[in-house]
Amino acid sequence: MHEWALAEAILTSARQVAEQEKLKKVTDITIRVGELQQVEPQILRFALAQMKTGLFENAKFHIRKAKSTLKCRVCATTWQFSLKNLDKATAEAIHFVPEVAHTYIKCPTCGSPDFEIVSGRGVWLEDIRGAKAD
């Protein structure tokens, strides 16, 4: 359900960028979604399509996934992490309370649960293209 709120926030941010860039219409928006956000791209795309009006009426949305990179604070190991490595219940627990990730995810080198998320979290506008106002 949070995909609808994300779609609304994306369009609000994109509108601000379009106004700053003096775009009269937006043709393409590239959105980068961190893997740890656990956003369903199909639902986000549908929500964006339902909400696009005016400036975004003919816009195409490109949704790209950002892989997760974690870094151990104990031994400095950096590794790629995928939620596919977790069972469904654990992935869902992390989805609703991201802070519990440290309970389930451990450094592959030293086994420490003390790590930072270097990338793979968040949603951001990567690119906005359109036609400039005259």
**7 and 62 share a domain?**
yes
Q: How many domains, in total, are found in the chain? A: 2
pLDDT (tens digit per residue) in 96-113: 777 788 888 899 999 999
Same domain, 41 and 58: yes
Same domain for 41 and 83, yes or no, is no
Domain of 88 in residue numbering reads as: 68-119
Residues 10 and 60 in one domain: yes
pLDDT at 61: 96
pLDDT (average), residues 22-39: 91
Instruction: Tell me the pLDDT of the chain averaged across its residues.
Output: 90
Return the CATH number at 36. 3.30.2320.50
pLDDT of residue 100: 81
Q: What pTM was computed for the model?
A: 0.79
Instruction: Give a three-class secondary structure readout of 98-111.
Output: HHHHHHHCCCCCCC
- How many C-beta atoms surround the C-beta of residue 26 within 10 A? 25
User: Which residue did the predictor score with more confidence, 98 or 17?
Assistant: 17
Do 61 and 80 share a domain, yes or no? Answer: no
Do 58 and 124 fall into the same domain? Answer: yes
